Homo-oligomer: A and B are copies of this chain.
Amino acid sequence: MKKLLLTGFVPFLGLPINPTEEIVKTLDGKVIGEYEIVSRVLPVEFAESARQCLAHIDEIKPDVVISLGLAAGRTKVTPERIGINCRDGEVDNKGVQLQDSPIDDNGPAAYFSTLPIRKMVDILQESGYPAKISNSAGTYLCNNVMYATLHKIEQEKLNIRAGFIHIPASHELAVQKPQLPSWSLTDLQVSVVKMIESLD
């Protein structure tokens, strides 16, 4: 059976929970479509998150890597089109802050996702779950994991499809934040399952 590495993140930037952590833990070990799901939760640390993700790839040898991240403020499920060679933004959970810093000094400017992002969006929309391709995964940890994963796959000529998907906040988070758009955790999780089912 084919294997799918599904990653989420721990909470960050003072938010009390991270729905991606809950979703990947729930789906760990499940079989969805042709894939056995192997889940890992990543730290929100520039020095560690990508390193650990790459180590998981070496250990698990997945056919597909889908990394999930929380995009507080977004209203739709948004598969990312591209990861860029840049780290910037708020402090991470270790207090580290970077500005305009390349992820790999010798890497290209960007990598496109190799997930079927258009198909994923179409299937979600047809199923009644609002979805849209995003053209920026930002420059924080999410983008870092996306770029580093695709860079490793390219460098080592691995036969792995990979990409990043941002999801909205969960209702659980939004009850604590005045303006945050949110979905139920159930809707978020069903959306992730539907995207995995869309894979060949």
Contacts and interface: CB of A to CB of B under 8 A. Distances in A.
Contacts of A138: 135
Interface string A42-84: 0000000000000000000000000000000001100001101
Nearest to A88: B133
Interface in A146-200: 171-172, 174-175, 178-184, 186-187
A125 B82 CA distance: 29
A33 interface: no
B184 A181 contact: no
B100 A118 contact: yes
A187 B171 contact: yes
Interface in A61-118: 75-76, 81-82, 84-86, 88, 99-100, 108-112, 118
Q: How large is the interface on A (under 10, 10 to 19, 20 to 34, 35 or more residues)?
A: 35 or more
A139 interface: yes
A82 B81 contact: no
Interface string A117-133: 01000000100111111
Nearest to A126: B175
Contacts of A82: 84, 86, 109-110
A26 interface: no
Contacts of A178: 132
Contacts of A133: 88, 100
B110 A182 contact: no
17 contacts: A75-B182, A81-B84, A81-B139, A82-B109, A86-B112, A99-B118, A100-B118, A108-B110, A109-B109, A109-B110, A109-B112, A110-B110, A125-B175, A128-B171, A130-B182, A135-B139, A182-B183
Interface of A: 75-76, 81-82, 84-86, 88, 99-100, 108-112, 118, 125, 128-133, 135-136, 138-139, 171-172, 174-175, 178-184, 186-187
